[in-house]
Structure 1
Amino acid sequence: MENPVRKSILMWLCLSPLVILILFPFAVMISTAVKPRVEVLMYPPSWFPSEIRLQNFVDMWQATRLGPAVLNSLIVSITATVLCLLVAIPAAYAAARMEFTGRKLFRQFLLVTQMLSPIVLVLGIFRLMAKMGFVDQLPALVLAYVAFNLAFSVWMLQAYFQTIPRELEEAATLDGASAIQRLWRIFLPLAIPAIGITAVFIFIYCWNEFVLAMTLLRTPEKSTLTLQTFSLVGGRYQVEWDHVMAATLVASVPVAVIFALLQRSLVSGLTVGAVK
């Protein structure tokens, strides 16, 4: 047996407990989602159901109003992602290429904001949205998501912009291109991979976020997917676990697919600009 193969097998043996620990909740979720309801709380429990009941997903979709919640999450996530990129791209270009007073302080400020959790600021955000009349409105959630993702997006993009050769920008300047034209014609086409990865990170954050949604939204019609899934458990005398796990699986699949397809790009996107 070759040494690299032996090393690979040894590494997988060492990592297998961690892999099992990580996959265990997903195994429980999938098993419960496809079980008949009478087998969900059966004792002793069984991993494999007597029948694969896909009708659970149909029943859950009809009984839990998950469709409007999915639509609300899509609207909020896509809108917040687009708005965040529209603001972050020119800001990242300015931080990467333009000299201005307080430039280093601005970049340090971007890092400091990443240490703040939405939970710490949730009271202030609620009072601000209440004064603006945005409580129980999806635009409130969009604005909050943009605010919390903007610093991360600027940091990601400015790191990538710094890797673009200055000679290209200087040549465009000699041809009479303005700063906006240089950004539009040179930086944006070259930065499409970084912009795409940044957009994925923003979308995943918005799709999975719960605390701000629970604070700012009130009526079931405005609920996002995470909030609607939580409502299947919170404040109920009887929890229909087959519906809960089916809804959780529906909420988890898009994010899991995105991570599976873009795993290498997501990891490389986090280290963009780290080495020059």
Structure 2
Amino acid sequence: MSAKLKKSLLYWLMLSPLVVVILFPFGVMFVTAFRPREELFVFPPRWWFSEFRWSNFVEMWEKTNFGQALFNSLYVSIAATALGLLLSIPAAYALSRYRFPGKSAYRTFLLMTQMMSPIVLVLGLFRLMVVLGMVNNLNSLVLTYAAFNMAFTIWMLQSYFSTIPRDLEEAAWIDGATHFKSLIKIFLPLAVPAIAVTSIFSFINGWNEFVLALTMIRSSDDYTLPVQIYSQVAGRYQVEWHHVMAATILATVPVAIVFSWLQKYLIRGMALGAVK
């Protein structure tokens, strides 16, 4: 056995307790989602089940309005990510390419906002949405999520943009391209890894956010997935845990798809950011 293989096995052995702790809740979730209802609370507890109950997912979809909640979460997360990027890219480009009064203070402000939890601002945001007439409106979540994602997105993108040589843009200007055209045709294609990284984080933040969605949305038809899953547990005399776990498994699928699709850009963007 080579020394490299021995070292790899040693590392995996050291990490195995952590792996078990991380994967254990997912294992319980998976087993509960496919377990027949009558086997949920047997004593002594069994770690396996007598059959794969695929009908749990069908029943959950029909009884909990899961399809509408899935659409709501997709709309909010995608729209907030797109709006955040649309506003953040010009700001990050200006921070990386131009000098202006207050630039250092603005960078510090962006960093400080990352230390503040959205929960602190829930009351103020709710009163603002009341004034705008946007309570119980999915667009209130789109605007709020985009605003909170912008600080991270601008900070991340401006660091990456600074690594792109200015000579490439200047060469395009000499050839007659406008500043806007050089930004679209030359600059942004080179920044795809960084844009992918920030898109993934923005999407996941919007997908998983719970407190603001619970505060802003009152109608069950407009619930996002975290609130919809929570509603299956809160205030219920009897909780259908097999439905809750089935919904939770399905809620993780879109995030896994997005992450797998953009994984190569994620690794490349984080690596280049680390070098920077």
TM-score of the two chains, using structure 1 as the length reference: 0.95
* 1:18 paired residue number: 18
The amino acid of 1:186's aligned partner reads: I
* Contact 1:229/1:244, CA 8 A, preserved across alignment: yes
Work out the CA distance in 2 between the residues paired with 1:151 and 1:32: 39
Distance 1:185 1:266, change over 3 A: closer
- For each residue in 1:230-271, what CA deviation from the matched residue of structure 2 results, as whole angstroms up to 9, or x when unmatched? 000001110011101101111122223444555564354345
Q: Shift of the alpha carbon at 1:272?
A: 3.7
Distance 1:273 1:21, change over 3 A: closer
SS at match of 1:100: coil
Q: Shift of the alpha carbon at 1:32?
A: 0.3
Q: Shift of the alpha carbon at 1:204?
A: 1.1
* 1:158 paired residue number: 158
The amino acid of 2:195's aligned partner reads: I
* 1:130 paired residue number: 130
Question: Is 2:28 aligned against 1:53?
Answer: no
Distance 1:273 1:256, change over 3 A: closer
SS at match of 2:275: coil
User: What does 1:1-276 correspond to in 2, within 5 Å?
Assistant: 1-260=1-260, 262-263=262-263, 265-276=265-276
The amino acid of 2:5's aligned partner reads: V
Aligned length: 276
Q: Shift of the alpha carbon at 1:220?
A: 0.1
SS at match of 2:164: coil
- For each residue in 1:69-120, what CA deviation from the matched residue of structure 2 results, as whole angstroms up to 9, or x when unmatched? 0011111111111111110111111011111111122112111111111111
Distance 1:134 1:272, change over 3 A: farther
- For each residue in 1:116-171, what CA deviation from the matched residue of structure 2 results, as whole angstroms up to 9, or x when unmatched? 11111111111111111111100100000001000111111111211111111222
- For each residue in 1:25-65, what CA deviation from the matched residue of structure 2 results, as whole angstroms up to 9, or x when unmatched? 00000000000000011111111100110110001000111
Work out the CA distance in 1 between the residues paired with 2:97 and 2:185: 15
- For each residue in 1:159-205, what CA deviation from the matched residue of structure 2 results, as whole angstroms up to 9, or x when unmatched? 12111111112222333433322211221121122212211111111
- Structure 2: state its 5+ residue gaps: none
SS at match of 2:121: helix
Work out the CA distance in 2 between the residues paired with 1:261 and 1:80: 19
Higher mean C-alpha deviation, range 239-248 or range 198-207: 198-207
Work out the CA distance in 1 between the residues paired with 2:10 and 2:249: 32
Work out the CA distance in 2 between the residues paired with 1:11 and 1:167: 45
The amino acid of 2:126's aligned partner reads: F
Higher mean C-alpha deviation, range 4-13 or range 187-196: 187-196
Distance 1:266 1:19, change over 3 A: same
Distance 1:112 1:270, change over 3 A: farther
Work out the CA distance in 2 between the residues paired with 1:20 and 1:256: 20
Work out the CA distance in 2 between the residues paired with 1:229 and 1:254: 16
* Contact 1:162/1:273, CA 8 A, preserved across alignment: no
Higher mean C-alpha deviation, range 31-40 or range 96-105: 96-105
